[in-house]
Amino acid sequence: MMLRIVHKTGYTYAGAASASYNEARMTPRSTLHQQVLHTRVEISPSAWTHTYNDYWGTAVTAFEVHERHEELIVTSSATVDVQRPAIEGEHLTWEQMHDLALQAEHSEYLQISDQVRPPDDLLARVRDIAAESPTPGDCARSVIELVHAEMSYVSGATGVHTRAGEAWEQRQGVCQDMANLTIGCLRSVRIPTCYVSGYLMPPREPEVGVPYTGESHAWVRWWDGVWVGADPTNNIQPGDRHVEVAQGRQYGDVPPLRGIFTGSGTSQMFVEVELTRLN
């Protein structure tokens, strides 16, 4: 599926900003399963920019605005050809998964921070699932199904600073919460797991040439000899409707836009995402 994505975001400033310093992670990645045919990041007001790939392999546009502005607008446009197959994994055993060399190699994807830490009641359930699962893969799939079944997707129910445990307590959240929660659960039984962010074309069979309103999306990848993707919000493997932008340990590594500004007053973020199927 070839998709065009237009992602517009930024801040409005109460009282205006005299200067702002920001990082945007809004450029889709070229990978084995998706080819970026075109990409562009535009910033208003005009800004000094610097682009680089961060530690996790995500393209970053760093920029500074040194003039008074009441609004900052960042628009990323991209055309991406996605051919993402289902991946089964290599069916590692628990002994292979817990091999010290493997655990050391993936140690960064085994850390349990406060952002992804599940509450004690969920940790107990995950330990029971692991004890009953013949392989780590069976355990991972069962945990993903558990999160999907017991968490309700409610837009606006949580914010970017909500912790996984807080979302679990209210049994609702957004894709970010479900991804963070899944990560914490799988890492608690020593299955390396990473956070992936990007976009999801909303309809399963989008019409060619019709623009659809979308939003940023999040899913996970867990290690089974190869990285296996899972979208706990929808209980599916990522496919041709998923466009990958960034990866990291948790949401804090991959926010589409973040920064600081000088000036009086507060800031308010806005986000608009439009996806169009081109073939």
Whether 184 shows a pLDDT value over 80: the answer reads yes
Q: What architecture does CATH give domain 94-253?
A: Roll (3.10)
* pLDDT single digits (tens) 227-254: 999 999 999 999 999 999 999 999 999 9
Model pLDDT, residue 159:
85
Whether 129 shows a pLDDT value over 90: the answer reads yes
Whether 26 shows a pLDDT value over 90: the answer reads yes
Whether 111 shows a pLDDT value over 80: the answer reads yes
Note whether 264 and 173 are within 8 A (CB). Answer: no
Element (H, E) at 21: strand 19-24
Element (H, E) at 48: strand 48-53
Whether 113 shows a pLDDT value over 80: the answer reads yes
- 3 state DSSP class of 188: helix
Q: Give the residue from 168, 169, 170, 161 showing the smallest Cα distance to 232.
A: 168
- 127 burial class (0-12, 13-18, 19+ CB within 10 angstroms)? middle
Question: SS3 helix, strand, coil % of the chain, rounded to 5?
Answer: 25, 40, 35
Note whether 249 and 113 are within 8 A (CB). Answer: yes
**Vertex 94 angle, CA 92 and 96, to 5°:** 55
First to last CA, the chain: 6
CATH code assigned to 2-83+255-277: 2.60.40.2250
Q: What percent of the chain has pLDDT over 90?
A: 94
**Vertex 113 angle, CA 147 and 192, to 5°:** 65
Query: Boundaries of CATH 3.10.620.30 in the chain?
Result: 94-253
Query: Boundaries of CATH 2.60.40.2250 in the chain?
Result: 2-83+255-277
Q: Is the pTM of this model over 0.75?
A: yes
Model pLDDT, residue 160:
84
pLDDT interval class at 19 (50, 70, 90): very high
Mention every residue, 6+ apart, whose C-beta is less than 8 A from residue 165. 117, 118, 119, 122
Model pLDDT, residue 161:
87
